[in-house]
Amino acid sequence: MNTTPIIEAQHVKKTYRLGQQRIEALGDINLSVARGEMVAIMGQSGSGKTTLLNCLSGLDTIDEGEIAIAGQNLRDLSDNARTSFRARHMGFIFQDFNLLPVLSAVENVELPLLVARVPARQARKRALEMLELVGLGQRALHRPAELSGGQRQRVTIARALTNNPAIVWADEPTGNLDSETAQEILQLLVTLNQTQQQTFVLVTHAQEIGAMADRLINMRDGRIVREK
């Protein structure tokens, strides 16, 4: 594994205001993730782990500190530039799949490429390759309602990988799956991490994901309390 950091966070702080109340969501976070590393961020609900993922990926802004992705300081980017940067360098896997129900599996997977103005023929070819990679080539023309939960998550993973991202962010990727399917998806993520050399950052409650990651980060009350 390349030890060059692809994610660097220094003294990151994030607060929310709820009426007159000021809530510290992240408090002085320092974190470095190497290229190709698989990192699991764990903690109870409200510990700040999803907020950390959203801030590291540029989905949310921070109040203090610096976040650099592949050497690019996110603070230096406008909203539009940050959106474009995410589209080029990042993939996202969410617990609730976020698939468009009217589109087939292959149409869902190729959508990010079409939005990025990749030619339709090239986008379709890439999307089919990604579905094959996650073991769903034969279900390419099925809509989400015709797929099981595990198959829908595989489509989500294929879509996250379609732009060949340097970093894949996953928020509770097995949260809506039964234990057997969750294990299959977890093994798929580990295999993809090893074969594609992409960096994976996973937010999870699942102990088995923490056990299979290269590094486990525990959070409590918006702070990193342990790394191993």
Taking a C-beta distance cutoff of 8 angstroms, is the pair 172, 205 a contact? yes
Range of the domain at 103: 35-61+78-227
The alpha helices in the chain, defined as continuous H runs, are 49-56, 79-89, 105-115, 120-133, 149-161, 179-196, 207-212
Both tokens of 180, joined, read 């057997």
Within 10 Å of residue 149's Cβ, how many Cβ atoms?
Answer: 16
Q: What is the pLDDT of residue 2?
A: 62
Residue type, 33: V
Residue 146 lies in a domain: yes
pLDDT at 77: 92
220 located within any domain: yes
Nearest alpha-carbon partner for 158 in 183, 138, 129: 129
Strand partners, 12: 29
Q: Is residue 16 domain-resident?
A: no
Smallest CA-to-CA distance from 77 within 87, 36, 14 is with 87
Residue given tokens 């300081």 in the structure block: 73
CATH number of the domain enclosing 196: 3.40.50.300
Please state, in angstroms and rounded to a whole number, the distance separating the CA atoms of residues 202 and 169. Answer: 6
Total domain count, the chain: 1
Asked if the structure places residue 201 within a domain, the reply is yes
Q: Given this model, what pLDDT does residue 109 score?
A: 96
Domain annotation covers residue 50: yes
- Answer whether residue 11 is part of any domain: no
Tokens at 64, concatenated: 């203090």
71: left (phi over 0), alpha (psi -120 to 50) or beta: left
- CA 31 to chain CA centroid, nearest Å: 16
Burial of 67-101, coded b for 16+ CB within 10 Å and e otherwise, reads bbbeeeebeebeeeebeebbeebbbbbbbebebee
Does any domain span residue 160? yes
DSSP label at 213?
S
24 in any annotated domain: no
Per-residue pLDDT tens digits of the chain, which is 228 residues long:
567 799 999 999 999 888 888 889 999 999 999 999 999 999 988 899 999 999 999 999 999 999 999 999 999 999 999 988 998 899 999 887 789 999 999 999 999 899 888 999 999 999 999 999 999 999 999 999 999 999 999 999 999 999 889 999 999 888 888 888 888 888 889 998 988 889 999 998 878 877 889 999 999 999 999 887
Neighbours of 177 (CB within 10 A): 21
